[in-house]
Structure 1
Amino acid sequence: MLAILIKLESRGPVFYYSYRVGAGYRVFKFWKFRSMRSDADQMLDSVKNLNQYQSSSGSSGIRRRWRRRACAKPAWRPARPASSRLVDQRGRIICEQQYRFQRKAAEAPAFMKIVNDPRVTRLGRFLRNTSIDELPQLYNVLRGDMSLVGNRPLPLYEAEKLLTDEYSKRFIAPAGITGLWQVSRRGKGGDMSEEERKALDIEYARTYSMRKDLQIIFKTIPALFQKENV
């Protein structure tokens, strides 16, 4: 029935797959019911500005914070030699704290999450809000690509941004259909920051167990019905 409805609404295949990175950086085909237009991947660049995790949305706040703070200049600290002073793009001398804030504001977000994505079909919104579009991932579980519970397998362009020692720990845990960050906020409304999501992934990788997985599975049922169109 879903296959017929998907075909009736828009041209394209019933199933959609993309290459995802799971445990140990293993790459595999990740399957879903198609909930977007068939040319959604080609439209990705045109909707990146709608990303909820877009750092530019928070960069103005970051700039306001460091502008309000004068750089501390302890009397005991010797002045930097001219050759080692930090200079911004406009040629102004800045302190190390300002430099770090600017670098943080300029970083591209690791994750992609678009509320009310214009590429999603009308049926696709229903499939996503009820998580029915995720059912084909049971095939990935049977193949051994994923587990029922784990950290969400990431698209290649997202995984590439998490190769540092700090964040690579998330890939120790198995990839899963549901996981800690999904049940922590999904279905309850409100935004989760990129840093919160990274922290939850790392926490799960450090502490996952059969008992914790069962707790997450029970919490997944009410989290299936979410309030956001993502």
Structure 2
Amino acid sequence: MVYPHVVPNHSRSAKSYLFVKRIMDVMGAIFGLLLLSPLFAIVALLIKLEDPRGPVFFHQIRVGKNEKNFHMFKFRSMVSNAEELLEELLDQNEVSGAMFKMKNDPRITRIGKFIRKTSVDELPQLWNVIRGDMSLVGPRPPLVREVADYSSYDKQRLRVTPGCTGLWQVSGRNNVGFERMVELDIRYIDRRSITYDLRIIFKTIRMLFGDKDAF
């Protein structure tokens, strides 16, 4: 089977889009961090109350643009030794392809269930946006072990900066398998524009009030 290949657009319009997108990313992330600082404080307190010995934030090595690794930040929603317990759960993966998702993951804490359901656990990634590791909108940044199983076709989704949200997240999220996620990411890369990004951001904001597909 011959897969379509994403050809990067080096036109003036593409460069203008990337310039405006970066300004929108930085301004949006700074505004979001300031606006949500009270929520950050509340979530941090609840995480500490449930597990005083564990950290508030969780960072994990993810693969970004052009397969460059970076540390992605999240609110900790799992027990402190979640990474060590993962190996015992891999055979219970509930999504297809090169990623792991489990609806009733026993590693998730009580506060973790809430912040994952509302995607609040993802908000610290705004700091990754300011650093330039991520964008507000783009493909989900995969784990190193996931990329190890990628085909050359799958790696097309790594041609752009990963995002806090994207077309996959607003198109069914965990009800969408890996192959479909890759197709959605490539579709986004082909069609991306400021208008398209804003539409995805607005859809994501609505989902923050309770996404039944998030786990």
Task: Give the TM-score, by structure 1 length.
Answer: 0.71
Counterpart among 118, 128, 139 of residue 140 in structure 1: 128
The alpha carbon displacement at 1:218 in A equals 1.3
Matched-pair contact (CA < 8 Å) for 1:180–1:216? yes
Code of the residue aligned with 2:103 in structure 1: it is: V
Q: Secondary structure at the match of 1:177?
A: strand
The runs of at least 4 aligned residues of structure 1 exceeding 2 Å deviation read none
- Tell me the equivalent position of 2:56: 14
Identity score, percent: 48
- CA positional deviation for 1:199: 1.0
SS in structure 2 of the partner of residue 18 of structure 1: strand
Is the CA contact (8 Å cut-off) linking 1:22 and 1:153 kept in structure 2?
Answer: yes
Which residue identity does 1:201 align to in structure 2? D
Q: Which amino acid aligns with 2:65?
A: A
Partner of 1:45: 87
Aligned to 2:156: 169
Please list every run of 5 or more consecutive structure 1 residues that lacks an aligned counterpart in the other structure. 55-108
Name the structure 1 match of 2:211: 226
Where do residues 1-230 of structure 1 align in structure 2 (5 Å cutoff)? Answer: 1-10=42-51, 11-54=53-96, 109-162=97-150, 164-186=151-173, 191-224=175-208, 225-228=210-213, 230=215
**Distance in 1 (alpha carbons) for counterparts of 2:205 and 2:43:** 21
Answer whether contact 1:51 1:113 (CA < 8 A) is retained. Answer: yes
Please tell me the residue identity of whatever aligns with 2:83: D
Amino acid at match of 1:19: I
How large is the RMSD of aligned CA atoms in angstroms? 1.5
CA contact (8 A) 1:173 1:204 kept: no
Q: Given the superposition, is the C-alpha separation of residues 166 and 229 from structure 1 closer, same or farther in structure 2, using an over 3 Å criterion?
A: closer
1:14 maps to a residue whose letter is V
Distance 2:113 2:95 in 1: 20
Partner Cα distance (1:229, 1:116) in 2:
11
Aligned residues: 172
Q: Is the 8 A contact 1:183 1:216 kept in 2?
A: yes
Structure number with bigger Rg: 1
**Contact kept? 1:50, 1:115, Cα under 8 Å:** no
Distance, in Å, in 2 between the alignment partners of 1:168 and 1:29 is 19
3-state SS in 1 of match to 2:158 = helix
Deviations 1:109-165 (A, max 9, x none): 301111121100010000101111111111000101000000011111112222x32
Structure 2: 5+ residue runs without aligned partners?
A: 1-41
Displacement of 1:192: 1.4
TM-score, normalised by the number of residues in structure 2: 0.76
> Could you report, residue by residue, the CA deviation over 1:174-219 in whole angstroms, capped at 9, with x for unpaired residues?
2100000100114xxx821222112111211222221211111111
